[in-house]
Every structure is written in structure tokens, then in C-alpha cells.
């Protein structure tokens, strides 16, 4: 049995009523910040004075750069952050628990400030710092943040004398 063009049209309308309609929505109509964003990049850390075996106050300068971001509506393609703070640490004890505000600046000119918390542990020769939190201001407001930062653990030789003065490692940021 074949349907006439009018019969096909009626069948399509009936199917749409029974099953619900699926209509393509233009990208501009989708709510902004609706999908997960993942960014890959590097984090560079400078320590002043250098980190030695003995724990002492160290001024830390952190510069992060994400060269590749994907997801969401596709407009955020890269970003970065800069922080400075002082902690008491040494080569033997990684950073203890911390709380901070981190502001990510995106290629769009927008920014996201997140309240983050975390701590560092030594895993397979790397100091791994997972930071989790929530975006409190700006783009991606109210969304969850997870940033993983592994940096090579300093050797005993690096910790002698003036100590470790800088380190660089990969980082991954997920906003969901």
C-alpha cells in the first residue's frame, strides 16, 4: 500500500502529534554556558626564595595558560590566569589544604572567578594538585570547576642550597 503525498503529510503530522516534534533550534537560541568546557594548557610556578628541605614562607607566583578549550558554545577557545600568594612549605611537605579565588580570563574578554579549594599530594614522582570549586562571578556563573595540576616533584639536589625556584607542568580545567 502506498500513500499519496497528502497521505504522507497526514502521517507525518500524526507522528509529530504522537511522538512530539523535534525542531532544530538555531545556535543563537541555545542558552549560553549550557555545556561542559574542557581546557588544556600549562602552569608555570616561581618560588621566592627557592623551596628547600626546610619549610619556610615562600612567595609563589603562578601563571597558567590554556591554549586549547573546547565545548560549551564554542566561543571560549583559550584563556589564562595569574596569582600570587605566600605559603609555608618545603620540599618534603607539599602544599597543605588551601582555599583561594582564581580568576580565569578568556579569549572573549570575559572572565570567570571561582572559589576553589584543594591540596597537593605526591603521586609517582609528581606533585599533583586537584582544585575544585564553583564559579561565583562572570562567565559560567554557578558552574563547577575541576582543575588538575601535576608538576614534577623536586629532586633532593634541587632542594639543597638555594632550592627549587621554578616548575612547569601540564594542567586540565573542566567546567561543568
Cα separation, 148 vs 154, whole angstroms = 18
Confidence check: pLDDT of 71 > 80: yes
With a pLDDT cut of 90, the percent of the chain lying above it is 55
Give the pLDDT of residue 46: 95
pLDDT at 94: 65
Q: Which residues contact 123 (CB under 8 A, 6 or more apart)?
A: 150
pTM, entire model: 0.76
C-alpha span between 169 and 128 (Å, rounded): 10
Residue 45: the pLDDT is 93
128-135: long-range contacts at Cβ-Cβ below 8 A with a sequence spacing of 24 or more?
Answer: 129/94, 129/95, 131/100, 131/102, 133/102, 135/175
Structure confidence at residue 26 (pLDDT): 35
43 pLDDT higher than 50:
yes
Is omega for the bond preceding 56 within 30 degrees of 0, making it cis? no
For residue 22, pLDDT beyond 60: no
Q: What is the pLDDT of residues 80-137, one digit of tens each?
A: 999 998 888 888 776 678 888 999 999 999 999 999 999 888 777 788 889 999 999 9
What are the strands, taking DSSP E only, across the chain?
A: 37-51, 56-71, 79-89, 98-106, 111-118, 121-123, 126-138, 144-152, 164-175
Average pLDDT of the segment spanning 68-87: 94
- Quick one: CA torsion of 87, 47, 125, 56, rounded to 10 degrees? -40
Spatial distance between the Cα atoms of 129 and 150, rounded to a whole number of angstroms: 6
| Size of the chain in residues | 176
Q: Can you tell me the distance from the alpha carbon of 25 to that of 103, in angstroms, rounded to the nearest whole number?
A: 32
pLDDT at 75: 95
Averaged pLDDT, 24-46:
69
- What is the Cα 24 distance to its own chain's centre? 31
pLDDT at 87: 86
Amino acid at each position: 500500500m502506498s500513500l499519496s503525498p497528502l497521505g504522507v503529510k497526514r502521517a507525518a503530522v500524526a507522528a509529530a502529534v504522537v511522538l512530539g516534534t523535534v525542531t532544530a533550534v538555531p545556535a543563537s537560541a541555545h542558552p549560553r554556558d549550557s555545556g561542559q568546557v574542557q581546557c588544556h594548557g600549562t602552569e608555570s610556578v616561581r618560588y621566592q626564595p627557592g623551596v628547600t628541605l626546610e619549610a619556610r614562607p615562600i612567595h609563589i607566583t603562578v601563571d597558567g595558560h590554556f591554549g586549547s578549550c573546547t565545548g560549551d558554545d564554542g566561543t571560549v577557545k583559550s584563556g589564562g590566569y595569574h596569582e600570587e600568594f605566600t605559603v609555608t612549605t618545603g620540599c618534603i611537605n607539599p602544599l597543605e589544604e588551601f582555599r583561594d579565588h582564581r580568576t580565569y580570563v578568556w579569549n572573549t574578554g570575559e572572565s570567570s572567578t571561582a572559589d576553589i579549594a584543594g591540596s597537593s599530594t605526591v603521586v609517582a614522582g609528581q606533585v599533583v594538585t586537584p582544585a575544585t570549586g564553583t564559579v561565583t562571578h562572570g562567565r559560567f556563573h554557578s558552574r563547577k570547576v575541576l582543575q588538575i595540576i601535576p608538576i614534577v616533584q623536586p629532586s633532593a639536589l634541587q632542594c639543597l642550597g638555594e632550592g627549587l625556584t621554578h616548575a612547569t607542568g601540564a594542567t586540565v580545567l573542566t567546567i561543568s
